[in-house]
């Protein structure tokens, strides 16, 4: 049902002009910084001829094939920007690999660092980003997924007791698989884990420093690579007039006391959420240059150089001009208002006992309805009224043993695409539909 609505909405978008779609996880077209992006392209292509790059092996012209990890000048700009935002000095260009966005990034990481023969299990936080399962399937790990629950109580925001138990059951300590490859050494991890540590998609949870440190400790002990989808850190709604330093990324913690050549973490980040997804620019940031170098020479990268070469220049230009920070602040102001309207509307129109998680940053809120409500029937009736609410069943980790029954009572709501007025109208219709079905 979840993907059926998603696909139908894409196909029929021209005929459903009044559709209120809580699924879409990208900005409303009206708030995308079109002029700023257009001007940046103009500056990149017309204001410099990049003559110095003609004999520079570390930098290539914006319209040429890029270097494997991306232009050194661009990576330096991104590294300096990150140091400024996180109030650190440890990120350098050799710890950055430029990508074509977070989705490409996860596929690239799994292709480079896992093997169906050597990688025992892949852990995925549940509820999870609804399209991530297939990336693991493509890597040959579809039958090896284990769901780890987010939790709102206890010492940690994740069920780390289960994680540690599964690590002990399926693996061992002291593992260090390094293969010989024509391109050099290739580190293969015994385990991998996928998580969204800040304003998680879809749960809206931000993991504490204590949780991140415990994850890193387990990763080092059991040769596990922590793949952090770090895509929402800068969309923190606690302030709409500044960009507060985010909680230390796991790879930054790994940098401080790195225990091996490759480290045990990779920050898989993107500019899609803070500029525009069509640019297709992201970056991977590790604790050591060795892992970043390995990620930069996967088959496609080695063949064509860094993906999105031209767009990486545009992103660097927006950073250097200071416009990126202005763009982020504008997004934060708009999204913070929408998130607040959504929370208020839920309280106003939905039944008492409805629980809301998230809404302090990022794109998504996770809503748990009272158990007496027939969630699936309500969602189906809402679709007939042109209100699309994605059922929680779409956010399960693949595999029957991993299912948590999220579709029974839970949904994910996005605040990035709809206006405040559309959000309130959609929730009002939702509440009326629940009342209508409950009275029958």
Computed over every residue of the chain, the mean pLDDT equals 93
Rounded distance, CA 305 to CA 64, Å? Answer: 9
With 0-12 / 13-18 / 19 or more C-beta atoms within 10 angstroms meaning exposed / middle / buried, residue 60 is: buried
pLDDT of 80-127, one tens digit each? Answer: 999 999 999 999 999 999 999 999 999 999 999 999 999 999 999 999
Helices 309-320 and 34-46, axial angle in degrees (round to 10): 110
Tokens found for residue 210: 């204590």
Backbone angles phi, psi at 387, to 5 degrees: -120, 115
Is the bond preceding residue 91 a cis peptide, omega within 30 degrees? no
Q: What is the pTM of this model?
A: 0.94
HSE (side-chain half, CA atoms, 13 Å) at 117: 2
Rounded distance, CA 236 to CA 427, Å? Answer: 23
Termini Cα distance of the chain: 23
Q: Is the pLDDT of residue 204 over 60?
A: yes
Q: Is the pLDDT of residue 440 over 80?
A: no
pLDDT of 380-413, one tens digit each? Answer: 999 999 999 999 999 999 999 999 999 999 999 9
Q: What pLDDT does residue 12 have?
A: 37
Q: Which domains are delineated in the chain? A: 20-32+325-439 (3.90.1150.10), 41-322 (3.40.640.10)
With 0-12 / 13-18 / 19 or more C-beta atoms within 10 angstroms meaning exposed / middle / buried, residue 385 is: middle
């Amino acid at each position: 049902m979840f993907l059926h609505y998603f696909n139908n909405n894409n196909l029929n978008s021209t005929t459903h002009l009044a559709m209120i779609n809580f699924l879409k996880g990208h900005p409303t077209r009206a708030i995308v910084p079109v002029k700023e992006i257009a001007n940046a392209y103009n500056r990149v292509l017309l204001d410099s001829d990049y003559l110095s790059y003609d004999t520079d092996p570390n930098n290539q012209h914006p319209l040429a094939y890029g270097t494997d990890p991306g232009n050194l000048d661009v990576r330096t700009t991104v590294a300096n920007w990150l140091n400024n935002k996180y109030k650190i000095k440890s990120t350098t260009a050799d710890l950055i690999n430029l990508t074509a966005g977070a989705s490409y990034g996860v596929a690239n990481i799994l292709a480079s660092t896992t093997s169906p023969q050597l990688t025992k299990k892949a852990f995925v936080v549940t509820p999870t980003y609804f399209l991530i399962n297939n990336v693991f399937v493509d890597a040959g790990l579809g039958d090896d997924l284990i769901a780890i629950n987010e939790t709102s109580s206890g010492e940690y925001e994740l069920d780390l007791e289960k994680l540690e138990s599964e690590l002990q059951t399926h693996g061992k300590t002291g593992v260090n698989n390094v293969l010989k490859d024509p391109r050099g050494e290739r580190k293969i991890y015994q385990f991998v884990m996928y998580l969204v540590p800040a304003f998680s998609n879809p749960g809206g949870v931000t993991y504490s420093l204590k949780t991140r440190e415990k994850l890193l400790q387990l990763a080092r002990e059991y040769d596990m690579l922590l793949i952090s989808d770090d895509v929402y850190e800068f969309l923190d709604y606690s302030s709409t007039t500044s960009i507060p330093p985010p909680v230390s990324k796991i790879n930054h913690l790994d940098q401080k006391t790195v225990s091996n050549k490759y480290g045990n973490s990779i920050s898989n980040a993107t500019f899609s959420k803070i500029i525009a997804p069509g640019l297709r620019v992201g970056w991977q940031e590790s604790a050591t240059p060795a892992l970043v170098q390995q990620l930069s020479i996967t088959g496609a990268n080695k063949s064509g150089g860094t993906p999105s070469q031209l767009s990486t220049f545009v992103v660097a230009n927006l950073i250097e001009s200071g416009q990126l920070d202005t763009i982020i602040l504008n997004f934060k102001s708009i999204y913070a208002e929408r998130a607040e309207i959504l929370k208020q509307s839920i309280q106003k129109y939905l039944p008492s006992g409805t629980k809301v998680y998230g809404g302090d940053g990022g794109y998504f809120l996770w809503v748990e309805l009272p158990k007496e409500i027939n969630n699936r029937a309500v969602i189906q009736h809402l679709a007939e009224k042109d209100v699309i609410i994605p059922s929680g069943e779409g956010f399960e980790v693949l595999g029957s043993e991993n299912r948590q029954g999220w579709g029974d009572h839970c949904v994910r709501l996005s605040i990035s695409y709809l206006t405040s007025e559309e959000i309130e109208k959609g929730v009002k219709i939702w509440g009326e539909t629940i009342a209508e079905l409950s009275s029958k």
